[in-house]
Structure 1
């Protein structure tokens, strides 16, 4: 009964637990904060460990010959998301100044649009994509944080992100890939674990969200989420279709705002004090965008994947044969 319900909802295995975790964190945070294993599993404290295990198990299914496809597909998504976020944000900043347009500053726009929720992407690729799509998730982790935002705003950034942080992000999938290529039996054993962990990852991520942030972000926060999802998503989808020659479902799947992006305005303000007056409001707007896009993007991605095709739901025999070659 529960499984049938979850399967009817786009990326339901992750989205429903995420919303449940956000609801509990918003109204009954003491329930999961009692300590020990309960806090470790059912709060944001366990998110990184669960995602790391997911990536390790995914890595065991990835063959060395697929690395080129991972870099190409993931690179297009990463660059396209950066370009659209930077273009909109810089355009607003140049034309309207630091106050921004309709209450949305360049700081808020770039922070939200250039950062994607990797866990939502991974869950959607598990439902609609293939192993190459899934393996692109660590590459997309490059946009998770202040680095690309700082670059887009001309405040540097590369020196503030240690190289080892990138190595740490891709470490689990590389170790898993090496072991999986050495022993296929190990790959077959661990492959299902990636899907099994989806509801745990979703709940952990939701436990780091507060639903009241949508209200705090106001209409501008909702508008920011729509810009991130609809305008940003449409551009990334077109790049996915015409550059990567894919149906576009992966482009929509990265049209989210990362939960970590909530901290980006404060980081930018610390690096450039002239943005300090707009940091607090930008933070609440980015938080609203993170929650809204985590709800909207799975719905849009599911509809698009089923209408225009994907590895799990090819629209015709010719497309199925094409995906089989990939």
Structure 2
């Protein structure tokens, strides 16, 4: 049976498929995940905190502090542009409409998703359209994987009651991983597969906290969130790429997506501030829907941007034809 290959054909499949399976069990047989011992500890919603902490550590080990200046510049511009889009949008909506957000999309969902991007999708697209510096820039943008930036935004803006120590505690795994990964490249190599390995477990654990009847009620909101991520988040990223980095914009277009890893962010924030718990289920479902939608529309969009404004792929092809 080609189970793995079948799952990988689904956009964000390694996160989305386990999430759907977990949600199906929680919706129709919730008691199956609460029998205790290692089953509950690994597969119930209670496992999310531990697995997200592991993921933050693995991400930290992959953060390289000595990347080439150009790669750092490109990655930083993209990271800040996309983050600014989500932070500004989320804070404005919170000020006007409150934490419940607009048209069913909470500020929790907006800040968690618009500030991030699908790193795997970015790398795949840059492997086709970009150059080595574009690929290296991902090491800087790894910062937007997981809940760190969302936690920072909620804490600084005052939208959530997040004590400084709780904020620090939430990023300790990332910091420890970053220190170890930069002290010893063997550590970085050893833990590199970890980021991908824990994704299905995070997906299932989060799904185990979702009831499908809630998702059905908020169906349109997932599409609306995807539009915010693609249009506003992607728009900011393209502008930053073109106006600040003086690049064609294809790299900015490549992060006009929702990250599968940010599906875990609402649950992570609610662990720090319990007042956010009422929004976790809907935000998680909306982000999961946005991951699928943006993963489908971003690749053809990048191709269009690259053809219109240029990319190393087409420059290389032109040089080969000239020869």
TM-score by length of 1: 0.70
Q: What is the CA–CA distance in structure 2 between the aligned matches of 1:119 and 1:12, rounded to whole Å?
A: 18
Deviations 1:25-47 (A, max 9, x none): 11111111111111111012112
Provide closer, same or farther for how the CA distance between residues 204 and 317 of structure 1 changes in structure 2, counting only shifts above 3 A.
Answer: farther
Q: What is the CA–CA distance in structure 2 between the aligned matches of 1:200 and 1:98, rounded to whole Å?
A: 29
How big is the shift at 1:200?
Answer: 1.1
Query: Which blocks of at least 5 consecutive residues in structure 1 are unaligned?
Result: 269-278, 321-326
- Structure 1 contact 15–202 (Cα < 8 Å) conserved: yes
For 1:99-248, list aligned pairs within 5 A: 104=103, 109-116=106-113, 121=118, 130-138=138-146, 141-144=148-151, 147=154, 151=157, 156-157=158-159, 160-215=161-216, 218=217, 221-245=218-242, 246-248=251-253
Deviations 1:270-313 (A, max 9, x none): xxxxxxxxx98xx5xx7445313312323422441365169xxx
> SS in structure 1 opposite 2:113?
coil
Q: What is the CA–CA distance in structure 2 between the aligned matches of 1:86 and 1:236, rounded to whole Å?
A: 14
RMSD (Å), alpha carbons = 4.1
Residue 81 of structure 1 aligns with which residue? 86
Provide closer, same or farther for how the CA distance between residues 146 and 100 of structure 1 changes in structure 2, counting only shifts above 3 A.
Answer: closer
How big is the shift at 1:4?
Answer: 1.0
Residue 304 of structure 1 aligns with which residue? 298
Deviations 1:142-196 (A, max 9, x none): 4259937x94xxxx447x3212223223222221122122221222222112212
Q: What is the CA–CA distance in structure 2 between the aligned matches of 1:132 and 1:99, rounded to whole Å?
A: 32
Query: Which blocks of at least 5 consecutive residues in structure 2 are unaligned?
Result: 126-134, 243-250, 306-310, 318-323
TM-score by length of 2: 0.70
- Structure 2 contact 86–111 (Cα < 8 Å) conserved: yes
Residue 252 of structure 1 aligns with which residue? 257
Provide closer, same or farther for how the CA distance between residues 198 and 290 of structure 1 changes in structure 2, counting only shifts above 3 A.
Answer: closer
How big is the shift at 1:266?
Answer: 8.8
- Structure 1 contact 56–175 (Cα < 8 Å) conserved: yes
- Structure 2 contact 22–206 (Cα < 8 Å) conserved: yes
- Structure 1 contact 224–289 (Cα < 8 Å) conserved: no
Provide closer, same or farther for how the CA distance between residues 288 and 199 of structure 1 changes in structure 2, counting only shifts above 3 A.
Answer: same
Q: What is the CA–CA distance in structure 1 between the aligned matches of 2:203 and 2:229, rounded to whole Å?
A: 23
Provide closer, same or farther for how the CA distance between residues 319 and 195 of structure 1 changes in structure 2, counting only shifts above 3 A.
Answer: farther
Deviates more, 1:202-211 or 1:70-79: 70-79
- Structure 1 contact 11–124 (Cα < 8 Å) conserved: no
Provide closer, same or farther for how the CA distance between residues 9 and 146 of structure 1 changes in structure 2, counting only shifts above 3 A.
Answer: same
Provide closer, same or farther for how the CA distance between residues 243 and 173 of structure 1 changes in structure 2, counting only shifts above 3 A.
Answer: same
Deviates more, 1:53-62 or 1:13-22: 53-62
Residue 55 of structure 1 aligns with which residue? 56
> SS in structure 1 opposite 2:252?
coil
Provide closer, same or farther for how the CA distance between residues 23 and 98 of structure 1 changes in structure 2, counting only shifts above 3 A.
Answer: closer
Q: What is the CA–CA distance in structure 1 between the aligned matches of 2:316 and 2:140, rounded to whole Å?
A: 17
> SS in structure 2 opposite 1:9?
coil
The aligned length equals 284
Q: What is the CA–CA distance in structure 2 between the aligned matches of 1:265 and 1:189, rounded to whole Å?
A: 33
Q: What is the CA–CA distance in structure 1 between the aligned matches of 2:89 and 2:25, rounded to whole Å?
A: 34
Q: What is the CA–CA distance in structure 2 between the aligned matches of 1:297 and 1:265, rounded to whole Å?
A: 25
- Deviating beyond 6 angstroms after TM superposition, the runs of 4 or more aligned structure 1 residues are 97-101, 117-120, 125-129, 261-266
